Amino acid sequence: MQHQKVRVRFAPSPTGGLHLGGVRTVLFNYLFAKQHNGEFVLRIEDTDQTRYVPGAEEYIIECLRWCGLNADEGPHVGGPYAPYRQSERKAQYRQYAEQLVAAGHAYYAFDTPEELEEMRSRLKTEHNPSPQYNAAARQQMRNSISLSAEETAALLEKGTPHVIRIKMPQGEEVGFTDMIRGHVQFNTSTVDDKVLLKADGMPTYHLAVVVDDYLMKITHAFRGEEWLPSAPVHLLLWKYLGWEAQMPNWAHLPLILKPDGNGKLSKRDGDRLGFPVYAMNWADPKTGDMTTGFREKGFLPEAFVNMLAMLGWNDGSGQEIFTMDELIARFSLDRVHKAGAKFDFEKAKWFNHQYLLHADNNRLAELFMPVLKEKNVNASPEYVATIAGLVKERCDFVNDIWDHAFFFFQAPETFDIAAVKPKWNADKTQFFRDWASIVEGLSDFSATSLEESFKTLAGSMNIKPGELQLPFRIMLCGGKFGPPVFNIAETLGKHETIARIMRGLDAINA
Ligand code: GLU
């Protein structure tokens, strides 16, 4: 058998913000494709015009770019199977729907919305609260199965609005081997006669996904577990269209669950519990409501991606931090769990913290600049990079840098005098006066040299250096916080350090 090139696809509908579960689907697609030297396709499934949201496609592409999970083919980059937007492929779907009708696997249905409503309320019982258009109902409705060939032809002739539905067989067992779940089996009687082609000529997801996966030569299809109940429809379509041998291998990815494990994690859970669920900020174009994304919350993309990889997968070794290359090398579907993965925001923060620790300080400075700009602070990138290096171990997010480093950008206006006063005396005032003038003359203003001269002078004056360091810190920062005090001084520079000592002394002695 000829070896087929691996081709996978991410097929989002452009309906709003991109849920982290969607990004994880992208990631698994991407890892699998890269591991097999395959191709990763982005296909926009926009056939449901009622759910289409302007801007959502560009937003999805930007999310992928931010995460470093770029597609090899898609509406933004083109490719040999273009167009990659289903709405632009509209013309090709009808022929397949008609082919199914001709073969007796699908039929025209002329029912009006009122007639469908009437059927639902007529067949509704306590045990069947939402009756479906299935083998039983089919016979009582207006379609090319219940009507004669002449009646049907007449209705079509008149241009009567109609849809094309799949004719689900009764009592057949269909199944397939899911790459994560193993063999999955369904009885066709449990599935209704799904619409394949709508009255406006647009295909539904069910038809479009099969046609496009076929035409785009997709070999492996990863999608959320919520699509598993639709699988029998798709299996039958692959079979009825005569493409069974080319059907992709399916993997239905486990859900991402709420932190308490009770159901699927939704955007509302994020709002309620105060963490992001979307990859990036999403502004609802209708209401203008803004939902915060992981990017804007301060996540580094590689931390976000690493965290997602571990939601439902691990390599069995206990390792949690992986570079993208490691993920590509080690990812395996055998190790994807079948059960849903609980989302844990504290753990997500931990991942980000790990990546912040190892991030290049210049990069952190660049990411932090907008925060400074917002606060009207002017500082050089080099200065901000040094500060980022000093405080990053205390931060979970880039934006936390401010809370741990604000005193580098503005001199303290108040001092925690109460922390100093009880042990304060004239000798200590003298110490700081003398030390300030020593510092004035220091040619080496490094933390080490500062500490050395500080300790030498303290020793000669018989004061414990430990008793002087807290007052020094309070002079520089205003309170009992911040990184090692001599590093603060070195970063602030000679002039500013001396000025703060003087102002601090005034405040303490006032
Ligand atoms: N358009 C579907 C969705 O947004 C895609 C499902 C699939 O990957 O087949 O969930």
What is the 8-class DSSP label of residue 203?
B
> What is d(CA 30, CA 5) in angstroms, rounded to the nearest whole number?
14
Provide the 3-class DSSP secondary structure of residue 233.
helix
| Shared-domain flag, residues 91 and 205 | yes
- Asked whether 227 lines ligand 1 (CB < 6 A), one says yes
Question: Of 471, 468, 473, which Cα lies nearest the Cα of 457?
Answer: 468
Question: Which atom of ligand 1 approaches the CA of 226 most closely?
Answer: 10
Domain CATH number, residue 457: 1.10.10.350
Residues 240 and 260 both lie in one domain? no
Let me know whether 100 and 247 are in one domain: yes
Q: H or E element: which one contains 176?
A: strand 173-178
> Ligand 1 atom closest to Cα of 25?
8
Burial class (CB in 10 A: 0-12, 13-18, 19+), 128: exposed
Domain boundary among 253, 285, 305: 253
209 ligand 1 Cβ < 6 A: yes
Angle between helical axes of 494-509 and 465-477 (0-180°, round to 10): 100
189/128 same-domain check: yes
Phi, psi of 506 (to 5 degrees): -55, -45
Write the CATH number for 259. 3.40.50.620
The pLDDT of residue 2 is 54
Q: Is 267 annotated as catalytic? A: yes
Please provide the distance, in angstroms rounded to a whole number, between the alpha carbons at the two ends of the chain.
Answer: 89
* 455 in a structural domain: yes
Q: Of the residues 345, 367, 383, which one is the last residue of a structural domain?
A: 345
Q: Is 16 in the pocket of ligand 1 (CB under 6 A)?
A: no
Ligand 1: which residue has its CA nearest to atom 9? 223
Q: In angstroms, how far is CA 106 from the centroid of its own chain?
A: 38
pTM of the model: 0.92
State the Cα–Cα distance between residues 234 and 240, nearest whole angstrom: 10
Same-domain check for residues 41 and 70: yes
Catalytic residue among 90, 264, 267, 342: 267
Maximum Cα interatomic distance, the chain, rounded to a whole number of Å = 113
Q: Tell whether ligand 1 has an atom less than 6 A from the beta carbon of residue 46.
A: no
> Is 373 assigned a ligand-binding role in the annotation?
no
CB 62 within 8 A of CB 69: no
Q: Which of 455, 408, 418 is nearest to 435 (CA)?
A: 455
At 201, which CATH number? Answer: 3.90.800.10
**DSSP secondary structure, 96-158, as one string:** HHHHHHHTTSEEEE---HHHHHHHHHHH--SS-SS--SSHHHHTTSSBTTTS-HHHHHHHHHT
- Flag whether 2 is in a domain: no
Please name the residue whose Cα sits nearest to atom 4 of ligand 1.
12
Domain identity same for 108 and 244: yes
What distance in angstroms lies between residue 89's CA and the mean position of ligand 1's atoms?
A: 16
Are 95 and 236 in the same domain? yes
Looking at the fold, whether 383 and 424 belong to one and the same domain comes out as no
Q: CA–CA separation, 139 vs 146, rounded Å?
A: 5
Per-residue H/E/C for 436-502: HHHHHHCCCCCHHHHHHHHHHHHHHCCCCHHHHHHHHHHHHHCCCCCCCHHHHHHHHCHHHHHHHHH
Question: How far does residue 336's CA lie from ligand 1's centre (Å)?
Answer: 19
Which residue's CA is minimally distant from atom 3 of ligand 1?
12
Indicate if 105 and 212 belong to the same structural domain: yes
Domain holding 491, by residue range, is: 417-509
Q: Ligand 1 mean position to 19 CA, how many Å?
A: 13
Looking at the fold, whether 147 and 158 belong to one and the same domain comes out as yes
Map residue 252 onto helix, strand or coil: strand
Mutate to test the pocket of ligand 1, among 26, 45, 57, 218 (most ligand atoms within 8 A of CB): 45
Which residue has its alpha carbon closest to ligand 1 atom 7? 223
311 Cα–ligand 1 center, Å:
20
List of residues 6+ apart from 440 with CB closer than 8 A: 494, 498
Centroid of ligand 1 to alpha carbon of 234 (angstroms): 13
d(CA 378, CA 400): 18
Distance CA 377, CA 193 (A): 63
Q: Does ligand 1 have an atom closer than 6 angstroms to the CB of 45?
A: yes
Compute mean pLDDT per 10 residues along the chain, 510 residues long, and list them: 84 97 98 98 95 95 98 98 97 98 98 96 91 94 97 98 98 97 96 97 97 98 96 98 98 96 94 96 93 95 98 96 98 95 97 98 96 96 98 96 97 96 96 98 97 98 96 98 97 98 96
The total domain count for the chain is 4
Q: Which atom of ligand 1 lies nearest, measured to the CA of 223?
A: 8
> Which of 179, 205, 249 most suits a substitution to test ligand 1, by most atoms within 8 Å of the C-beta?
205
Give me the pLDDT at residue 4, please. 86
Interval between CA 282 and ligand 1 midpoint (Å)? 20
